[in-house]
Amino acid sequence: MSLIRTSVAVLAALLTACGGGSGGSSPTAPSTSPMGRGFVLQGDPESAQGATWTYTGSLDGVTFDLQGILLKPTGAGPFGAVIISHGAGGNAGALPRTLAIEMRRWGLVGIATNYTHSAAVPIGAPGTANDPGASEANILRAHAVREILRTLSYVDQGRIAAHGHSMGAFVTTALVAAYPNDFRVASHTAGGVRVPGIIAGPAPSETQARAIRTPYQLHHGDQDTVVPIAQDQRLDAVLQASGVAREFHVYPGVDHNDVATSPTVLTRIRTWYSAYQVP
């Protein structure tokens, strides 16, 4: 098992001294959001399986039709939160719910939406099934989820993380690159960027990844035949060149799906988030 990392302790101390991530005048209070009345919650986010939600409306001139899940710890908070992004053929109610249940035990609000690469659910808007992974449509969807978090009084707006698996890892990378001031920390399993020679596809480009400033933890099984480990190796190199705090964990004998829910992976993600005071 290999590990490439930068110093977390020093950076965490700097974050503490500065009051956390950049952006936002009040990290604990909900800020003004243009989401309006289009966000509708069904159920209790403190229940065992959490609540579901829909959002239909317009944000920055883009029309949205989204569905998702929301889980929160018991109490008024404020809590840190994590946007969890699913892989191809999944949806918000599958792996993201499983991860949100676990992360709720850490003291985090977990929220997820369906992307264009989802299955067994309405695909929603914007985008179509021809826009998988780190497409503009999915970046906009994830950004809308971040705006939903701004409306929740129990969420500390200065303690927001992003996490994804596979196609959802591609979304996570592109999201924190596009909105670097919105997230304190990020992580993913089985992701990465397009390797040289691949000019298109669902993975983000190296050019996109160079905009990342968010501390980032990567996890990849060396037996992954779905997303080649070379893609995460390339992303790690980009983050290193940019001076971004990062950790890269490689898991011998672990395949594409098993890395997503590995207890070792989840323990390391929790430690990574805790170093930046997200839980």
The pLDDT score that the predictor gives to residue 201 is 87
The pLDDT score that the predictor gives to residue 112 is 98
CATH of the domain at 167: 3.40.50.1820
pLDDT in tens, 207-258: 999 999 999 999 999 999 999 999 999 999 999 999 999 999 999 999 999 9
pLDDT in tens, the chain (279 residues): 444 443 333 333 333 333 333 333 334 444 445 666 799 999 999 999 999 999 999 998 999 999 999 999 999 999 999 999 999 999 999 999 999 999 999 999 999 999 999 999 999 999 999 999 999 999 999 999 999 999 999 999 999 999 999 999 999 999 999 999 999 999 999 999 998 777 778 999 999 999 999 999 999 999 999 999 999 999 999 999 999 999 999 999 999 999 999 999 999 999 999 999 999
The pLDDT score that the predictor gives to residue 196 is 79
The three-state DSSP-derived secondary structure of the chain is CEEEECCHHHHHHHHHHHCCCCCCCCCCCCCCCCCHHHEEEECCCCCCCCEEEEEEEEECCEEEEEEEEEECCCCCCCEEEEEEECCCCCCCCCHHHHHHHHHHHCCEEEEEECCCCCCCCCCCECCCCCCCCCCHHHHHHHHHHHHHHHCCCCEEEEEEEEEEECHHHHHHHHHHHHCCCCCCEEEEECCCCCCCCCCCCCCCCHHHHCCCCCCEEEEEECCCCCCCHHHHHHHHHHHHHHCCCEEEEEECCCCCCHHHHCHHHHHHHHHHHHHCCCC
Q: What domain count does the chain have?
A: 1
By residue range, what is the domain housing residue 243?
Answer: 2-275
pTM score above 0.75: yes
